[in-house]
Amino acid sequence: MSKTGIYTSSSGIYAYQDALDVVANNIANVNTNGFKSSRASFSDLLYTKINPNNDKIDEGHGIQTEKTDLMFEQSVIRQTGQPLDFAALDECFFAVEAPSGDTLYTKNGSFHLSQNAAGTWELCSFDGGFVLDDSGNHIEVPYNEETDTYDYSNIADIIGTYKFPNPYGLDQTGSNYYTSTESSGSAEAAPDAEIRQGYLEASSTSVAREMSSIIELQRAFQLNVSMLKTNDEMNNLMNNLKN
C-alpha cells in the first residue's frame, strides 16, 4: 500500500516545526536592540502522476521550508539619552571588527569605550568588537585628563554606516550580527546615512503578529499530525485485512 500520505504529512510536521522555531526566536528577541525578525517561507515538493494517461491528475508529496526571510522594516527609535547609543536609520548598518579580524555588521548601536595598549580610548560594540568608520578604521574618542571627560561631540559624524545592494541576502551569524554573502553583495559605505545619537533602534518583532503566526502554524502542525495518525491507522487496517 502506498505510504505517500504518511510521507506528505510528515514533511508538513517538519516544515511547520521549523516555522514555529523561527517565530520562537523572534519572540525571544523582542527586547534585543536592533533585532530584525525573520519569516519562514515554504514551497511544495515533487509531484507524480497517478494516471500516466491523464495529465490533469497529479499526486503531491508535501511541503518543505525553502528559506528564512529577513524582515528589514524600520523599527521604533527610542530615546535613551546616553551619548554612546546610536541608531542607524533605514537599511544602514554599523561595521564592527570582531576579535577574529572579520568585519561584521549590526543594527545594535549600544556602544562603549575601551582603552587600548597605547592608552587611547576606542569605540567598541556591545560585545567588545571595534566599531569602524567609513574607511574601516577604529574610532578613537578624545579624553581630557584635566577635566576627566570624553569628547562625544563628533562621534556621530565619524561612525561608519554601510548599505548592501540586497540586505535581505545577508547571513545571520548570531549575537545580532550579519555577514555579507554573494546574494547580499558587498558592503558599501553610506556616509550620508542618518544617525541619531542618544537613541537605539528597538527590535522589529511584533508580538501581536507573532502570536497570530503561532496560532496559524500550530493549527497547521496539528492538522498534519492528525493526517499522519489517520494514514497510519488506514495502513494498519489494510494490512490486517490482507492477513
Q: What is the pLDDT of residue 142?
A: 86
For residue range 48-74, what is the model confidence (pLDDT) as tens digits?
A: 766 667 666 677 778 888 888 888 888
pLDDT for 31 equals 93
Q: Which amino acid is at 173?
A: T
Q: What is the pLDDT of residues 93-137, one digit of tens each?
A: 999 999 888 999 999 999 999 988 888 899 999 888 999 999 999
pLDDT of residue 174 exceeding 60? yes
Tell whether the model's pLDDT for residue 237 goes beyond 80: no
Residue 1 has pLDDT above 60, yes or no: no
Query: How crowded is residue 196: how many other Cβ atoms within 10 Å of its Cβ?
Result: 16
Per-residue pLDDT band for 150 (boundaries 50, 70, 90) equals: confident
* For residues 229-235, average pLDDT: 79
Please tell me the predicted confidence (pLDDT) of residue 2.
Answer: 60
> What is residue 56's predicted lDDT score, i.e. its pLDDT?
66
The predicted model gives 203-211 an average pLDDT of 94
List Cβ<8 Å contacts ≥24 apart for 184-188.
187/93, 187/95, 187/103, 187/105, 187/162, 187/163, 188/162, 188/163, 188/164
State the pLDDT at residue 165: 94
